[in-house]
Amino acid sequence: MVIFSWVVLGLAGFLLLCSGVSWGVYVAIEDSDWRRLSVKLFRFSMVLLLLFVNVLIYAHIVSGLTGG
């Protein structure tokens, strides 16, 4: 579970960083393609974070039901 946490949170952080860079390029050169890319990267990173939260909740529920 710890490895999963590091991988998912690292990937989400990297995607948020890329989203910020893409947004900065959009602001600098005002190209709408960069804006669309930054929004897509941000949305995908939020999906990964929600997946991570759901997995943590389900793991907590399962460990509670099994007495672990």
Residue 33 pLDDT: 86
**Contact predicate 34/23, CB 8 Å:** yes
Contacts of 20 (CB under 8 A, 6+ apart): 38
Instruction: Going residue by residue through the chain, which has 68 residues, state the pLDDT in tens, using 9 for 90 and above.
Output: 788 888 888 888 888 888 889 888 888 888 888 888 888 888 988 898 898 889 888 888 888 888 86
pLDDT value at residue 68? 62
Query: What pLDDT, on the 0 to 100 scale, is given for residue 66?
Result: 86
Domain positions in the chain are: 2-66
